[in-house]
Amino acid sequence: AEESRPQQQKHRVAIKGKDAPQAADTFAEMAERFSIPSQLLSNLAKYDYHHPTAIQSHCVPILMELRDLAAISPTGTGKTLSYLLPIIMSLKKPISHASEDDNSMGAGARAVILAPTKELAQQIHNECLKLCQGRKWRVVLFSKATANTLSDKKSRDRVDIIISTPLRLASFVTSKSIELDNVRHLVLDEADRMLDAEFLDQVQETITACTHPQLQKAVFSATLPAGAEKIALDMMRNPVRIVVGLKDT
Ligand code: ADP
Ligand code: MG
């Protein structure tokens, strides 16, 4: 706890929200509080992730306690791991471990991450594959390149984590050719763009298709104009809002 203070001061962390969970200053503390799978811990070390960044220290506990979240932190501060770690930590078991006729987990992905460009979606996918190494997670990038392998609905539904641009996923949603009612974690990365006129309709169609009562919503951005922030907070329940560094409006 002592160590977090200089870091917090340096980054000017502002948190709003009822009973916001305490930050976890180290990956070891996260492992103690929330049980990080050992494979994930060793993957972090393998890729030289030794200490969580400020936004990760705050967001991992908030998301692990299943709170909705609006997180604003400058570019390069590690927002990607802030949402990937909790998703991987809380999903526990890859869907592919269930036998073909075991419907206990329901059909379809349990996490959806939307990003505004295919390059960004690709980067998130790469990062997610690194963290999932050694476990049988089905992490799927929805793109032109994967359209072939995703051509039948069954293969689209036998995934754990979907990473997509808004249009790719929305086109499956509007044609009712994907199951999203088992999604527990929905993340909008670069939320300022996702909640802007360009993507808002597609994003909202996808959110509407995520019908699970325990759906957690999180948005991440370097900047979040007031209008976009209001849209985000209005669709959340008891959210936590965190700003690291100066909010750039
Ligand atoms: P943002 O989305 O906030 O712009 P990224 O998630 O893309 O930031 O991370 C920026 C860079 O920092 C990436 O190269 C990533 O691998 C690296 N990084 C993220 N978290 C850590 C960490 N805990 N320790 C070391 N490097 C990290
Ligand atoms: Mg980013």
pLDDT over 60 (residue 162): yes
183 neighbors 112 (Cβ within 8 angstroms): yes
Q: How far apart are the C-alpha atoms of 67 and 74, rounded to whole Å?
A: 22
* For range 211-225, the mean pLDDT: 96
**Does residue 70 sit in helix, strand or coil?**
strand
Classify the C-alpha dihedral 180-184-185-191 as positive or negative: positive
Q: Which atom of ligand 1 is nearest to the CA of 55?
A: 3
Q: What is the pLDDT of residues 2-11, one digit of tens each?
A: 444 444 446 7
CA of 208 to the centre of ligand 2 (A): 24
**pLDDT at position 95:** 61
CA 7 to chain centre: 24
**pLDDT at position 97:** 46
* Three-point CA angle 66, 87, 213, nearest 5°: 45
- Per the prediction, the chain carries an average pLDDT of 88
CA of 82 to the centre of ligand 1 (A): 9
Classify the C-alpha dihedral 180-84-25-190 as positive or negative: negative
Nearest to 78 by CA among 56, 50, 45, 57: 56
Other Cβ atoms closer than 10 A to 135: 17
ipTM above 0.90, yes or no: yes
Nearest CA to ligand 1 atom 17: 78
Q: Which atom of ligand 1 is nearest to the CA of 52?
A: 23
**Nearest ligand, CA 121:** 2
1 neighbors 26 (Cβ within 8 angstroms): no
CA of 53 to the centre of ligand 1 (A): 8
Q: Which atom of ligand 1 is nearest to the CA of 123?
A: 7
Q: How far apart are the C-alpha atoms of 62 and 217, rounded to whole Å?
A: 12
**Nearest ligand, CA 120:** 2
For ligand 1, mutation pick of 77, 113, 220 (most atoms within 8 Å of CB): 77
Q: What is the DSSP letter of 196?
A: S
